[in-house]
Amino acid sequence: MAFIIRNASEADLPEILLIYNTEILQGFATWNEQAYSLEKFQKKLADIQARSFPFLVAADSASNRVAGYADYTDFRSFTGYRHTVEHSVFIDRSYARQGVGKLLLQHLINHAQRNQVHVMIAGIDHDNTASIALHQKLGFIQTGYMPQVGKKFDQWRDLVLMQLTFSTDPAP
């Protein structure tokens, strides 16, 4: 199966919303417990685009269906963190284990390198061993482990922090 990686558009948002809300209701890739509205994703897309951050989709080249999406934005709002971003990657469950996450993450990494990002952060549920392994393959290292910092479906969740450092010299 082949996928086209492109910038997300408003037309993609209903499919993106379905992917994200499915994960909210059934999974641990996000610890958010409140379903998102279309309006919330419209605002998110506009905010990310206004800041020149990436909001990408992987479209199935045969059907043009959104197989997954990815973005990054500020790690924290303090100016001292301005060279660090945190990313998210979400895959439609029917496209799991087909390389969609890797493609999207590689595109995020390339975008970050072109835009003088110094560090990219991943916050991953400790049970998401596939995501942890993918990040390791792409050069991320585990820099933190935070036990029981989240709770979802009445279960305490541990957070694995991973990071990819692009250079030893911060951007000017």
First and final CA of the chain: distance in angstroms? 41
Q: Is 150 inside any structural domain?
A: yes
pLDDT tens figures, 39-69:
999 999 999 999 999 999 999 999 999 999 9
Rounded to 5 degrees, what angle do the CA atoms 170, 53, 58 make?
Answer: 120
- Secondary element (H or E) of residue 129: helix 129-137
Q: Is 171 inside any structural domain?
A: no
* pLDDT at position 108: 98
Q: Is 83 inside any structural domain?
A: yes
Work out the number of other CB atoms within 10 angstroms of the CB of residue 137. Answer: 10
pTM, two decimals, is 0.94
Sign of CA dihedral 53, 86, 96, 1: positive
| CATH number of the domain to which 83 belongs | 3.40.630.30
- Under the banding of pLDDT at 50, 70 and 90, the label for residue 145 is very high
Q: Is 51 inside any structural domain?
A: yes
**Residues with Cβ within 8 Å of residue 101, at least 6 apart in sequence:** 68, 89, 91, 131, 134
Domain of residue 96 covers 3-165
Tally of domains in the chain = 1
- Provide the token pair at 169: 């010299």
* φ, ψ (nearest 5 deg) of residue 62: -80, -40
Whether residue 117 is predicted with pLDDT greater than 60 in this model: the reply is yes
Whether residue 172 is predicted with pLDDT greater than 60 in this model: the reply is no
* pLDDT at position 168: 60
Q: Is 170 inside any structural domain?
A: no
Q: Is 74 inside any structural domain?
A: yes
